[in-house]
Amino acid sequence: MAMDWSRDEATVAVIGTGAMGRGIAQVAAQGGLKVLLFDAASGAAERARAYIAEMLDGAARKGRLAPAEAEAAVARIHVIGAMEDLAPADAVIEAIVEALDAKRDLFRQLEAILRPDAVIASNTSSIRIASIAAACTNKARVAGMHFFNPVPLMKLVEVIRAPATAPAVVEALTALGKRMGRVPVTVSDSPGFLVNLGNRPFSTEAVRLAMEGVASPAEIDAILRDAVGFRMGPFELMDLTGLDVNFPAAKIMYDGYFQDRRLATWPLHQAMAESGQLGRKTGGGWYAYDTDGKLVPQPTDAPASATPAAKLVLAERDEALSKLLLEAGAELLARDDGASPIVGAPLGEDASTFAARLGLDARRLVCVDLSGNIAKRLTAMRPPGADPAAVAAAVSRLAQTGAKVTVIKDSPGFVVQRVVAMIGNLGCEMAQIGIASPADIDLAMKLGLNYPRGSLEMVDFLGGARRVHEILGRIQAVTGDDRYRPSLWLRRRALLDLPVNTPD
């Protein structure tokens, strides 16, 4: 099954000429491979080849590609009129409709046409490779090769190994991915594979925060962009991809893992999808859009119009918080004077629990999250019944640091701690159950989703395994929800004070 993809006659067939199939054919041709392009719909393959030629010509005009290279790539793409003409292919990549029966029928036909050592791969993003391979006699040569849209721009490709997939097939597809200019990661055959699974908490935890009334979608997005470094907030991203895609994907993965609470989504998510508020494609989703399709901005920053509090009471000794408040120009009181705002920085707790545990006057309490880039944005949290004047005075003082301030309602773990800890915990679980190596998990999340750091790297971002384990344990204690149970991978490294990417 070893393939020499460097030879001139190395041939890849692409079946299906939608956006994904076109993209796969383009990068294969640009990688120097001969490409056989087939689509059952009359004229579709010809139109796809013409589209690819136009894209490559445009790249050449913009100086991104030499004209000769563009012409040579197009010349390598050959439209095939009949399935039988796919026989010379060394590998076939299927990119047809996401329907199991259709894929099984295609794979049965390919088995009868291709030579025994040819590899058959599916670009499916949601169907188990084992389910597709069940239709084949030789399951060992069947695997997944999941590209990301738009293929020419997205460097990642997940090479999916099903239980019956031969190691040599994984090696062959990995080498093929590299020849196509992609970065392959090996992933086990599981619901959502790696990237789509790893991205679940980014949206579902954000939806839960919105449903609990902790903050608005715009406020949550602003916090995660500024404090963590995401290019887009979860609600912006859901609006871009469409809730008709995002919500069903959440359900598929939740059911695929037998209703694991860590993958659950929420009624608000369902309500938005079923009401037709799908995002940009319908002119409205979590955000409203103007007639030009531009997002209508929503407020995210708390006003700093009140007189800054001259004195602040430290809820408990905290060097990082003290430094922040001193830089903001506050006088810090070690003892409560009964009048000044009280400021604390709880880890994993909500303000109510924090106040009860320390015996604080919750009416004057303002909690601050010290996670992430606090020079850019601070999150201030108030408990129920908080004095608006005390909160406003404390917020105005926090604004003296130069950071933007978002005020949220009570939430165990604020926003950053909750969302980032959930992403990191799921990354640990993916490592625990062998979906991919820790290094490949992190690489895939960065390349496949433009995350500022990988899933396990998110644990380090929050302070390491012990700290994230503590955050999750406290959120679980406050909520009573099994959703926040720590992965055993995380727990063991926290107990032993090991780096989170320490292998078993």
Q: At residue 394, does pLDDT exceed 90?
A: yes
Catalytic-labelled residue, pool 94, 158, 205, 349: 158
Please tell me the predicted confidence (pLDDT) of residue 1: 53
- Residue 158 annotated as catalytic: yes
Q: For 275-330, how does the pLDDT look when each residue is reduced to its tens digit (9 = 90+)? A: 999 999 999 999 999 988 899 999 999 999 999 999 999 999 999 999 999 999 99
Q: Tokens 């469409």 appear where?
A: 242
pTM of the model: 0.95
**CB-count exposure of residue 464 (10 Å: 0-12, 13-18, 19+):** middle
Residue 262 CB contacts under 8 Å (≥ 6 apart), including other chains: 201, 422, 425, 426, 429, 483, 484, 485
Please give the pLDDT value at position 4. Answer: 84
Q: Which one, of 282, 261, 157, 199, lies nearest residue 476 by Cα? A: 261
pLDDT at 299: 96
Residue 123: closest CA among 137, 103, 153: 103
* Catalytic hit among 122, 123, 125, 425: 125
pLDDT band at 126 (very low <50, low <70, confident <90, very high): confident
Structural domains in the chain?
11-189 (3.40.50.720), 197-282 (1.10.1040.50), 311-408 (3.40.50.720)
- Does the annotation count 125 as an active-site position? yes
Per annotation, catalytic residue among 122, 123, 190, 196: 196
Per-residue pLDDT of 42-62, as tens digits, reads 999 999 999 999 999 999 999
Q: What is the DSSP-derived secondary structure letter of residue 279?
A: B
Local confidence band at 6 (pLDDT 50, 70, 90 cut-offs): confident
Sheet holding 156-161, edge to edge: 77-79, 34-38, 11-15, 91-94, 119-122, 142-147, 156-161, 183-188
Is 134 a residue whose pLDDT tops 90? yes
Catalytic pick from 94, 146, 411, 429? 146
Instruction: State the chain's mean pLDDT as an integer.
Output: 96
- Identify the pLDDT of residue 2: 61
Going by pLDDT thresholds of 50, 70 and 90, the confidence category of residue 334 is confident
Q: How far apart are CA 497 and CA 116, in angstroms?
A: 50
Question: Residues 398-449: pLDDT tens digits?
Answer: 999 999 999 999 999 999 999 999 999 999 999 999 999 999 999 999 999 9
β-strand 311-314 against 183-188: which pairing, if any? unpaired
If you average pLDDT over residues 196-205, what whole number do you get? 97
Structure token pair of residue 89: 């292919």
Measure CA of the first residue to CA of the last residue in the chain; give whole Å.
Answer: 30
pLDDT tens for 213-255 read: 999 999 999 999 999 999 999 999 999 999 999 999 999 999 9
| In contact, 401 and 327? CB cutoff 8 Å | yes
Active site residue 146: yes
C-alpha angle with apex 36: 31 to 39, nearest 5 degrees?
A: 125
